[in-house]
Chain A
Amino acid sequence: MANGGGAPAPTASTLRRSVTTATATATSAGLAFAAIDYLGVVSVLAYAPGATAALAILIGGLMVVLVAGIFAELNGLYPTAAGIRLYLGRAVGNRTAMSVTFTYMATVVLVIAADAFLIGAAIRHVLHEPAVLAYLWIAVLLGIALAANLRGIRMAGWVQTFVTYTVLTGTAVLSVVAIFHHGRAFHQPFDIFGKGAFSGIQAIAFALFLYAAFEWVTTTAEEARTPRVITRALFIAPFLIWLVSTLFALALAHLVPFPVLHHSAYPQLLMGKAALGTIGELWMLALTVLTALNTFNGGFLVASRFIYAAARENTLPRQFAKLNLNAVPWLAVCVLAGVSAVVAALVFATGQWLLLVAVGAAIESAIYAIGSVCLLVLRRRDTRERPFRLIAARPLATFGAVLFTIMFLATGLSDPKNPSHLSVVPLGVIVVLGAVSIGYVLLCVPRLQAAAAARAATSRPKRRPQRTAESGGGGPTSTGPVRTPPSPPSGPMAGT
């Protein structure tokens, strides 16, 4: 047994189907590069105007290299879909892990809702329909995603890879075309703190958001041919995102005046139109719709399976673990679609789409800070060999914990609609989400687990027969009772 608290060493079998580096990289980049990233670039431009946005994106990318190193080591230690939950649990205890994971999963809902809104708004814009019809498109998109998920329809790995590389290449190519158009010159590209020191930090913090969710590729660790596949993807995907985001930011800064961008939910369409007219606009619309495939496929899958697993371990009501005849947790998928529709409606009604960017950016920064703390703790507690070891892990992880906490505050206190002001609204949203998660974990989870234990005790006696020396054959371990003690009523919370 390994010294990691009972984790058996995985075997080195070759699976019939396994994820390659190209697929894992596409998964990582595809999860990160959603339609909301186009707005993320606008948020960077709000704090770092013109070409200075490119420098902010580069600095953000360098920070992400540190994040990649941290998650590569943690993933090597716990190569499982339950990764973040597991290493958080091992490092800071299960209750904290559960609270953080519930809050983290809320970002998936935010991204699904944001993408539904943004894609709906983009389609409405291109079709020259009244603004109110945007919500109809949102409902249609979420309805299609819901139906596909309930029927158990999944994108094949190669389709996901093709979609991701098409979106990245298409955005990059049109951005290059735009940059070579006659437009505004790039002045003082290195003056990132030109609008003030804190603005520069906020620009970098929003740049960090462009890479957000790239680390979710660790949830495919069990499918990877070798652990190195995920490590490679964690380092290659940010490079691709950096390249595409930089080109897109430069293209926007070059061709579209910022006041126009700032009030638009579809900056990519404006850039496309400015570069190639209607063809460019349709080009970017097609790419925007394609991003939905990744978001809705990956987002629904990750979040609904998380809800299913939580219900199965009795930390959510067990109704969420009910499966339909396609082996899909139908209630989890329906609730996910319903909540996304409500959030998208709120965004539609208030026009606060940049608030979603700020909240998402802040939560991701917090996760990176927590990941850094996990690495620090697990370097001490779990001394097993890892397939990847971060060089100078202790100083770098300490640096990461401080740095990403600053980034969390920089985005949590931002007001992208009015960059010259600070706002506590994003932080307030996160505090509310966090408080709800903590309250739920402290108050509701123990009751659910007690109820589950009582249900199991009364309705389901142990089935495994007792073995004795007489009946157990010659096995050296078959003497005496072999039954393991029943699971503690508090399940995985018991160790906290």
Chain B
Amino acid sequence: MADWDELAEALADYTVSCNENERLRKMQRDWTRVLHFECSDSGVRFTMDVERGEILATPVGHVGTPDIVVTTHSETFCDMFWGDLNPVQKYLRGEITVQGSQEDVMRLDAISAVIWPDA
């Protein structure tokens, strides 16, 4: 089980990778969403605020009304944000559950697909 420090470190790396990727920013230029994340094992919750493809903040706790809610184990979140696992594989096994439109779910995966194509 990963604690918030580990998650925050992974999120910081993920934020830099996303925001510095020009192709991704262009692809997500019309994507403004509030994402809620919940660790099913530790109960840790955090939010990702995305505006026109740029990750603005990743505060602890749930802030605002979400467009997408992602639930999985804290370890899975850490590996996902470090790009060490392919989220689609976990999703298709039912180990990551998502609430949100199919389009938003795909956009979220597209981030990993673009910044870590070999994951």
Contact = CB atoms under 8 A, between A and B. Distances in A.
Interface stretch (A42-50, A166-174, A469-477): A469-477
A1 B110 contact: no
Interface stretch (A219-227, A257-265, A266-274): A219-227
Given A9-B40, A80-B97, A305-B102, A477 B1 contact: yes
Interface in A57-83: 78-82
Size class of B's contact patch?
35 or more
Interface stretch (A130-138, A200-208, A321-329): A321-329
B94 A7 contact: yes
A321 B4 CA distance: 32
B82 A459 contact: no
B113 A323 contact: yes
Contact of A8 (B97, B100, B103): B97
Interface string B77-119: 0110011111011011111111111110111011001101111
A268 B1 CA distance: 60
B10 interface: yes
Contacts of A492: 89, 92-93
Contacts of A323: 27, 110, 113-114
A467 B84 CA distance: 15
B55 to A, nearest CB: 16
Contacts, number: 172
Contacts of A309: 88, 91-92
Interface stretch (A14-22, A108-116, A284-292): A14-22
A338 B41 CA distance: 45
A484 interface: yes
A82 B107 contact: no
A491 interface: yes
Contacts of A82: 91-92, 94
Contact of B66 (A8, A15, A85, A484): A15
Size class of A's contact patch?
35 or more
A14 B73 CA distance: 21
A231 to B, nearest CB: 16
A9 B114 contact: no
Nearest to B109: A312
B3 A473 contact: yes
Nearest to B65: A16
A6 B88 contact: no
The A interface is mostly helix, strand or loop, or mixed, namely loop
A16 B86 contact: no
Interface in B41-98: 41, 62, 65-69, 71-73, 75-76, 78-79, 82-86, 88-89, 91-98
A89 B94 CA distance: 10
A1 B6 contact: no
Interface string A1-42: 100111111110111110000000000000000000000000
Contacts of A482: 2, 6, 75, 78
Contact of B97 (A10, A154, A464): A10
B66 A13 contact: yes
Contact of A484 (B28, B67, B69, B75): B75
A195 B91 CA distance: 50
Contact of A487 (B69, B89, B97, B109): B89
Contacts of A16: 34, 65-67
A309 to B, nearest CB: 6
Contacts of B83: 463
A313 B92 contact: yes
Interface of A: 1, 4-11, 13-17, 78-82, 85-86, 89-90, 154, 219-220, 222-223, 301, 305, 308-309, 312-314, 318, 321, 323, 325-327, 455-456, 459-460, 462-465, 467, 472-473, 475-478, 482-484, 486-487, 491-492
Interface of B: 1-6, 9-10, 13, 23, 26-28, 31, 34, 36, 38, 40-41, 62, 65-69, 71-73, 75-76, 78-79, 82-86, 88-89, 91-103, 105-107, 109-110, 113-114, 116-119
Given A8-B73, A222-B99, A487-B85, 10 more contacts: A7-B97, A13-B99, A16-B34, A82-B92, A309-B92, A312-B86, A325-B26, A455-B118, A477-B3, A484-B85
Complex A-B, nearest 6 residue pairs according to Cβ-Cβ distance, in ascending order = A475-B3, A8-B40, A464-B82, A312-B88, A7-B94, A477-B1
